[in-house]
Structure 1
């Protein structure tokens, strides 16, 4: 029986990064922040790249840090990345929020926070519509391109419904599986190979 040994070779899929695409970490990246992460690229230029990790919920809620939300249902809070961890960022599907930055079709970053608060306090649905993050990921100049050459990341595209899904437990695995058989095999690699 012939075995395709390339299936075990960690190699990027050669898709170029751009605003609105996602980064999927390679399976053996042993980093507390970036291991098994899916990152939405907010911006990618020659000067640098900004992204938000979208599949790592924190053990606290937005309600714990925004007092006006104290009496509404718990709103999940995600670890956006290791930069500016004291700053709140929010992705949303609300096209009418003034000052919001378009990220991809139907998906926006930040904007007038008073309008966001008003939307939430009026009892509108948060799940699938707004996701909050502390911190962000940042790469200077060619740093991300260098990491892509080192096969640290795969680049892919997902629609807003998938990106805003609150069930993030298997997001990394599912994002890999969508890329085809080689990457589907990667999704089954154990987190720590020696435990296999």
Structure 2
């Protein structure tokens, strides 16, 4: 029986990174922060890149850090990355928030936080239109480009519904599977092969 060993070769899918695209970590990345992560690129320029990990929850809630939200239902909080972990970022679909940065069609980052608070305190649902993050992921200059050349990351695109989905279990696997059969095979590799 002939087995095509190329399916085990980790190689990029040759999609270029840009604002609004996602990075999917390769299956053998053993880093505790970035292993099995999906990152939304907030910006990608010659000076550097910034992104938010969208599939890793923190063991606390937004209600724990914003006193005005303390009596609301628990609002999940995500680990955006290892940089500026004391800074709150918020991804949303609210087009009327002044000062928000457009990430993609109908997707925004930050903006006037008083308007975000007002929206939430008026009883509007948070689960679909807003996600909160502490910290971000950052790369200097050509660092991200080099990591992509080294096949640490695959670059892809996703719809806003996927990016804002609070059901993050299996998100990394789903992102890989959407890229085709070779990548779907990667998604089944055990995270720690020696424990298999």
| Counterpart secondary structure, 2:88 | strand
Q: Distance in 1 between matches of 2:101 and 2:90?
A: 11
- Aligned ranges 1:10-29 → 2 under 5 Å: 10-29=10-29
Q: CA deviation at 1:2?
A: 2.2
**Which runs of 5 or more residues in structure 1 are unaligned?**
none
Q: Take 1:107 and 1:170, find their aligned partners in 2: how far apart are those partners?
A: 22
Aligned to 1:120: 120
Which residue number corresponds to residue 79 of structure 1?
79
Residue aligning to 1:47: 47
Query: Which stretches of structure 1, 4 residues or longer, exceed 2 Å deviation after superposition?
Result: none
Aligned length: 196
In the alignment, the residues of structure 2 paired with residue 169 and residue 97 of structure 1 have an alpha-carbon distance, to the nearest angstrom, of 30
Please state if 1:57 is matched with 2:60: no
Q: Is 1:104 equivalent to 2:100 in the alignment?
A: no
- Partner Cα distance (1:153, 1:86) in 2: 26
Partner of 1:175: 175
Give me the TM-score of the superposition, normalised by structure 2: 0.99
Deviation digits for residues 171-190 of structure 1 (CA, Å, limit 9, x no counterpart): 00000000000000000000
Distance 1:2 1:115 in 2: 61
RMSD (CA atoms): 0.5
Q: Which runs of 5+ in 2 are unaligned?
A: none
Distance 1:128 1:102 in 2: 17
Rounded to whole Å, the distance in 1 between the matches of 2:60 and 2:169 is 16
- What is the TM-score when the length of structure 1 is the normalising length? 0.99
Question: What is the Cα deviation at residue 195 of structure 1?
Answer: 1.2
